[in-house]
Amino acid sequence: MKHNGFWLWLGIALALPAGMAMAGPAPDAPQAPTATRWMFIPASSFVPRSSNSIYDYHSGACVSAATGVTLVHKLLPPNGANLRYMRLYYLDNSGATRMSGFVSSYDAAGTLTDLTQVRSSNRGDYSSSLSPAINHIVDRVDTNYAINLRFESDSDSIFVDSFETAPTMRFCGVRMMWDE
Amino acid sequence: MNVRLSIHPLCLAAVLALALPAAAQAIDGPNGPPSFDPALMQFQAESTNDAATPLATDSYYFIPASAFNRIQSNTETTYVAGGCIRITGGFRFATTDMQIPTGSSIYGLRVYYKDTDASNMVRGWITTYDGNSVYDELVAVESEVSVGHGSKYLGVTPRPIVDNFAHAYSIDIGQTGSSASTAFCGARVFYSTP
């Protein structure tokens, strides 16, 4: 039996696109990761969570605030992105105070989920700390996201009013990393 | 059984017929020429700052003044109208982060304002930060006295390439004078995507 190459190739050419379309993801499905992105947010663009919070600007976009103050910034990665890490930039020169950064998600019905937390370390100079891996697939349909930064004191540190003031920490920024 | 495979001219034509619609879609896709509208006139005017840059990659990052935040808690701002604010007291600066894609070229900054008093001024910067308190001001634009609302554009030379891994970016605004003759209305960064 003699085969004609033309008909074989034509069959392949017609069948391949249809097969690829059937095997591909649904239009509203998250796409496979294609690239790593970073979003570097200067601390000066964070806003206080409460209007009565006191915060001060320092050089280089760094911000200081009293213990207990929380600053916040919206986080808008594309739907389907895989959140990987958050790096916190700061100046922390005391073991008595620290700051914590959170990647938080909300369902807009009062439920909060912290996807990761990273704390500053007393390193005596400007430094940064990397969060544990997050590995969260962004769902912008049912969830909204924010980065929260809280100025804290260690629980066993007491600053005597009028005699001792808490050392000043500076929050300088956050860098988010995700895969698209 | 031996099967002989060969590319027949008709087969090549069939493959081309399948591929051509995809090629046509790319030409007419999002990177195609924008439709004409009045805003395009200004778009082209700033595009001529670099004739070698393809128009389709030119983009804007346009933020209304009312969306800027106070740079520290004692900064006092007043909303005027139409997205404009007046920085009236305290540490007189407002700021917002700038998020444009890595690899983009920053062409310049346009500051929108109301300034009818020579003793007042609105000034805008694009600033980069490394997270360790080191900063660099890429461009600084100062308002000029004008009748009513105005704007001023200043290009950056050489054009910085955005690197969101190494730097954070912000647009910062300062204001001198707090009379009704001065207001900050917005800032627009002109850049080219990679």
B175, two tokens: 């204001």
How would residue B71 be classed by pLDDT, with cut points 50, 70 and 90? very high
Task: List strands edge to edge, sheet with A144-153.
Answer: A47-48, A70-75, A144-153, A97-106, A112-119
Please state whether B139 falls in left (phi above 0), alpha (psi between -120 and 50) or beta: beta
pLDDT (tens digit, 9 = 90+) per residue, A117-140? 999 998 889 999 999 999 999 999
- The answer, yes or no, to whether ipTM is higher than 0.90 is no
| Distance between A100 CA and the closest CA of chain B, angstroms | 16
In sign, the C-alpha dihedral spanning A23, A24, A28, A30 is positive
- Cβ–Cβ of B14/A14 closer than 8 Å? yes
Chain B CB contacts of A63 under 8 Å are 72
B84-94 mean pLDDT: 95
| Architecture of the domain defined by A33-179 | Sandwich (2.60)
pLDDT (tens digit, 9 = 90+) per residue, B13-24? 444 444 434 333
For an interface test with A, the pick among B73, B77, B193 (most A C-beta atoms closer than 10 Å) comes out as B73
pLDDT (tens digit, 9 = 90+) per residue, A142-152? 999 999 999 99
In this predicted structure, what is the pLDDT of residue A47? 97
Full-model pTM? 0.75
Where b means 16+ CB within 10 Å and e means fewer, B117-139 reads: eeebbbbbbbbbbbbbbebeebb
ω before B158 within 30° of 0 (cis)? yes
How far is it, in rounded angstroms, from Cα A86 to Cα A64?
20
The answer on pLDDT for A155 being more than 50 is yes
pLDDT (tens digit, 9 = 90+) per residue, B134-150? 999 999 999 998 888 99
In this predicted structure, what is the pLDDT of residue B30? 28
- Cβ–Cβ of A10/B11 closer than 8 Å? yes
Domain boundaries, chain B: 63-192
How far is it, in rounded angstroms, from Cα B126 to Cα B187?
10
Q: Which helix (H) or strand (E) holds B18?
A: helix B9-27
Chain B CB contacts of A42 under 8 Å are 95, 97, 129, 168-170
CATH number of B63-192: 2.60.120.260
Q: Which helix (H) or strand (E) holds B95?
A: strand B93-97
Q: Please tell me which residue of chain A has the smallest CA distance to B1.
A: A1
Torsion of Cα atoms, A143 then A39 then A60 then B172, to 10°: -80
The answer on pLDDT for B51 being more than 60 is no
Q: Please tell me which residue of chain A has the smallest CA distance to B72.
A: A56
- Largest Cα separation within chain A, whole Å, is 102
Chain B CB contacts of A41 under 8 Å are 97, 168
CA A26 to each of CA A22, A23, A32, A82, A139: distance values in angstroms, whole numbers, following the listed order: 9, 9, 12, 18, 16
A32-56 mean pLDDT: 91
The answer on pLDDT for B111 being more than 90 is yes
Q: How high is the mean pLDDT of chain B?
A: 79
In this predicted structure, what is the pLDDT of residue A48? 96
Residues 151-190 of B with CB under 8 A from A: 164-170, 172
Lowest-confidence pick of A31-40, A62-71, B109-118? A31-40
Task: List strands edge to edge, sheet with B93-97.
Answer: B69-70, B93-97, B168-176, B121-129, B135-142
* A98 touches A92 (CB < 8 A): yes
pLDDT (tens digit, 9 = 90+) per residue, A57-72? 999 999 999 999 999 9
Chain B CB contacts of A9 under 8 Å are 5, 7-8, 11
3-state helix, strand, coil in chain B (%, to 5): 20, 40, 40
Higher pLDDT, B42 or B162: B162
In this predicted structure, what is the pLDDT of residue A17? 52
How far is it, in rounded angstroms, from Cα B125 to Cα B173?
7
A72-87 mean pLDDT: 96
In this predicted structure, what is the pLDDT of residue B69? 96
For chain A, give the DSSP string: -PPPHHHHHHHHHHHHHHHHHHHSPPTTSPPPP--EEEEEEEGGG-EESSTT--EEE-GGG-EEE-TT-EEEEEE-PPTT-EEEEEEEEEE---SSEEEEEEEEEE-SSS-EEEEEEEE----SSEEEEEPPP--EE--TTT-EEEEEEEEEE-TT----TTT--PPPPEEEEEEEEEE-
How far is it, in rounded angstroms, from Cα B163 to Cα B104?
8
In this predicted structure, what is the pLDDT of residue B37? 35
In this predicted structure, what is the pLDDT of residue B31? 29
Count the residues in chain B.
194
Count the residues in chain A.
180
B159, two tokens: 């054009």
In this predicted structure, what is the pLDDT of residue A152? 92
* A33 touches A179 (CB < 8 A): yes
Domain boundaries, chain A: 33-179
